[in-house]
Amino acid sequence: MGSFEKLGLSQDTLGVLKRKGFEEPTPIQEKAIPAVLLGKKDIVGQAQTGTGKTAAFGLPIIELLKEKSKAVQAIVLAPTRELAIQVAEEMHSLKGKKKLSIIPIYGGQSIDLQLRRLRKGVDIVVGTPGRVLDHLKRRTLKLDQISFMVLDEADEMLNMGFFEDVKAIMDQTSQDKRVMLFSATMPNEIMQISKKYMKDYEILKVVSDQLTGSRTDQLYFEVAAQDKFESLCRIIDIEDNFYGLVFCRTKIDVDKVANHLMERGYDSAALHGDMSQTLRERILNKFKKRQVNILVATDVAARGIDVQDISHVINFALPQDSESYVHRIGRTGRAGKEGVAITFVTPEEYRKLKVITRKVKTDIRKAKLPKVSDIIESKRKKIKTQLGEIVRSDRKQEYTDLAQELLKENDSQEILGALLQHTFQGVLDVSSYALVEEGVVDRKGKTRLFVQQGKDNGLTNAKLVKIIVDKCSITSEKIRDIQIFDRFAFVTLPFHEAETVLSFFKRNRQSGFYITKAKQDRTRTSARTRTRRR
């Protein structure tokens, strides 16, 4: 891999890149930046989402444009509002000291606000095809003097039916402009556009293994569908600074997962197509500022999300196809930094995962979920680190005086233990983690049991496991699918172990803890009970 210094960029731009933390160019940046800066040809670039293509076209355009121009000098077309906003923001952050005006225009934003900005004079417009065409028809936007035109995510524009609008826009641009087209794939329709609207063009193609995220560690966990959420919590908790995207298949799933995370105390938010544009922008802004560190989204809502330093992409649901997989994981492992992509797979989905693995020509290795004991130890270390920082910080005298008084009246270890328990309530509680079944889930040869105690009796997952292990000499690994409600609970065991448990509790009914076989009507009753309580 080369360096930005060798690409022909100015010292001002190199300084901007250093401040932003960019260490080395991505493959598409290494090819596109000098091709635009030093060449005269149009550009056709094949690059996935997450390969740094905004900087690939944005940096040389910023370098080559003149300051204080009275006309629009460049137009960037993007398929979605989110992408238009993010490309504009990214280009603004790359311009450094150069005096260029860059604005996004898109449907859903106030047309009056856009008109006021356009009247003031704009150098670079980043917009969606529909709204750009609308301004051209109103004669509030002129593109007859532009030097550059960029089609970003061209295949997405094709899929979304925008190419007639794109053609209409191109017909109103200057003849001597340079055109840059970036696309993840190159279907015939896009190549036809290139031949018709681009003069002498150069094709810049990133090889397939680079398209799949070579800096991303790709893992999968084979878990039962009902264990996915617990698995997600374990992955988040074991990391020091989790900052990630969680992909679900439907809007309902997005809301469900995001709400469960918030209930558990995680800083998370949902993003999907049913939200208003204003709300989506607000949520994305919070995620960028790390006011929330977990964003749960659908594929459609996440199109165009371009956020730096994402540590993890979690496929809570397996993507529909290999292209979606590549698009998802491309959002981590950027700008010379490493990332992690994790996929949850049920046994029924394993074959589909293998198909994706073959198509993207990459290794997605099987891994084991973090153990609860390891997570607790990780949390202990975090607490010790936090306390060390607090101890080293400045304190007001009144708190030091209070500490001396407490030490005279109480044992120092007892005081510290009480403060830790009060401050970090439940953080080190092993029972807050449910059992997770990894590997192939075979429901044959198992029995569902009904427990006549629940949350109202103080029953937890950990307590139920301990009772069965202690009383019946059964290993905890064979105890699965625990569900605890207010007045009763369910647990699944292999046939042989289930008979052992039933036999023991039949002989020991006087213990006040009774387990019997689960009946179908009890399962339905539990569902009705949960519905009423909601």
Which superfamily is assigned to 4-206 in CATH?
Answer: P-loop containing nucleotide triphosphate hydrolases (3.40.50.300)
Amino acid 199: pLDDT: 82
- Separation of alpha carbons 44 and 204, rounded Å: 6
Kindly state the average pLDDT of the residues 492-511. Answer: 78
pLDDT tens track for 78-102: 988 878 888 998 899 899 889 999 9
Q: Which residues contact residue 377 at a Cβ distance below 8 angstroms, ignoring those fewer than 6 apart?
A: none
- Structure-token pair, residue 261: 């995370």
Q: Which amino acid is at 202?
A: E
At 519 the pLDDT is: 65
Q: Are 91 and 62 in contact (CB under 8 A)?
A: yes
Three-state SS string across 277-308, please? Answer: HHHHHHHHHHHHCCCCCEEEECHHHHCCCCCC
Write the DSSP symbol of residue 425. T
Q: Percent of the chain scored above 90 by pLDDT?
A: 34
Q: pLDDT at residue 146 above 90?
A: yes
Query: Which CATH number does 214-372 carry?
Result: 3.40.50.300
Sign for the CA dihedral angle at 527, 528, 530, 531 comes to positive
Mapped onto helix, strand or coil, the DSSP state of residue 460 is coil
pLDDT digits 0-9 by tens, 462-488: 899 999 998 888 888 888 888 898 888
> Residue 2 above 60 pLDDT?
yes
Residue 427 to residue 51: CA distance in whole angstroms: 38
Distance in angstroms (rounded) separating the CA atoms of residues 31 and 483: 55
Please report which confidence band the pLDDT of residue 13 belongs to, taking 50, 70 and 90 as the band edges: very high
Proportion of the chain above pLDDT 70, given as a percent: 89
Tell whether the model's pLDDT for residue 211 goes beyond 80. Answer: no
Strand bridging mode 102-105 / 124-127: parallel
pLDDT above 80 for 302: no
Q: Confirm whether pTM is higher than 0.85.
A: no
- CA–CA distance, 225 with 227 (Å, rounded to integer): 5
Contact, 36 vs 57, CB < 8 A? yes
**Residue-level pLDDT at 50:** 61
Q: How confident is the model at residue 334 (pLDDT cuts 50, 70, 90)?
A: low
Q: Is the dihedral of CA 403, 406, 412, 413 positive or negative?
A: negative
Contact 129, 157 (CB under 8 A): yes
Tell me how many helices (H) and strands (E) the chain has: 22, 18
What is the predicted pLDDT for the residue at 335? 54
Give the 3-state secondary structure of residue 483. strand
Q: Domain spanning 446-533 has what CATH number?
A: 3.30.70.330
**Maximum average pLDDT range among 349-353, 365-369, 496-500, 521-525:** 365-369
The dihedrals phi and psi of 459, each to the nearest 5 degrees, come to -75, 135
320 secondary structure, DSSP code: S
Residue 520 banded pLDDT, cuts 50, 70, 90: very low
pLDDT value at 236 more than 70: yes
Better pLDDT: 233 or 196: 233
State mean pLDDT over 263-278: 86
As a whole number, mean pLDDT of residues 118-147 equals 94
* Residue 140 Cα to chain centre, angstroms: 37
Distance, CA of 318 to CA of 335 (rounded, Å):
26
Residue 477 gets which letter from DSSP? G
- In this predicted model, which residue has the larger pLDDT, 400 or 300? 400
Residue 4 scores a pLDDT above 70: yes
* Angle at 234 (CA atoms; ends 231, 237), nearest 5 degrees: 150
Give start and end residues of each alpha helix (H) in 371-411: 372-392, 397-409
Q: Quick check: 493 and 446 in contact, CB under 8 A?
A: yes
User: How far apart, in whole angstroms, are the C-alpha atoms of residue 509 and residue 23?
Assistant: 68
Q: What pLDDT shows up at residue 530? A: 37
For residue 52, is pLDDT > 90?
no
The reported pLDDT for the residue numbered 218 is 92
Residue 25, pLDDT above cutoff 90: no
pLDDT at 524 over 80: no
Quick one: pLDDT at residue 378? 83
Higher-pLDDT residue of 292 and 240 is 292
Predicted pLDDT of residue 527: 38
Report pLDDT for 193. 80
Determine the Cα angle at 318 with ends 345 and 312, to 5°: 90
Kindly state the average pLDDT of the residues 109-136. Answer: 93
**Res 313 pLDDT > 90:** yes
Same fold, 214-372 and 446-533: no
Buried b (16+ CB within 10 A) or exposed e, 129-157: bebbbbbbeeeebebeebbbbbbbbbbbb
Given the structure tokens 């340079």, which residue do they identify? 178
* Tokens encoding 167: 């053609």
Average pLDDT over the chain, rounded to an integer: 84
Q: 107 burial class (0-12, 13-18, 19+ CB within 10 angstroms)?
A: middle
What are the DSSP calls for 101-143, one per residue? -EEEE-TTS-HHHHHHHHHH--SEEEE-HHHHHHHHHHTS---
Mean pLDDT of 282-290: 90
* Beta strand segments in 152-242, E: 178-183, 201-205, 216-222
pLDDT at residue number 528: 36
For 147-192, what is each residue's pLDDT tens digit? 999 999 888 787 778 888 998 999 999 888 999 999 877 878 888 8
Q: How far apart are CA 188 and CA 176, in angstroms?
A: 25
CA distances from 441 to 65, 227, 345 (A): 60, 11, 11
Q: Is 327 helix (H, G, I), strand (E, B) or coil?
A: helix
Q: Where are the alpha helices (DSSP H) in 8-80?
A: 11-20, 27-38, 53-64
| The predicted structure's pLDDT at residue 270 | 95
Tokens representing 422?
Answer: 């009060």
Write out pLDDT tens, residues 428-463. Answer: 777 667 667 665 444 446 778 899 899 989 999 989
Q: Give pLDDT tens digits for 356-408.
A: 888 777 889 999 998 888 888 888 888 888 888 888 887 778 888 888 888 88
Confidence of residue 523 (pLDDT cuts 50, 70, 90): very low
As a whole number of angstroms, the distance between CA 135 and CA 217 comes to 44
* pLDDT of 145: 94
Residue extents of the structural domains in the chain? 4-206, 214-372, 373-432, 446-533
Q: Residue 426 contacts by C-beta under 8 Å, 6 or more apart in sequence?
A: 432
Residue 320 C-beta-side C-alpha neighbours within 13 Å: 6
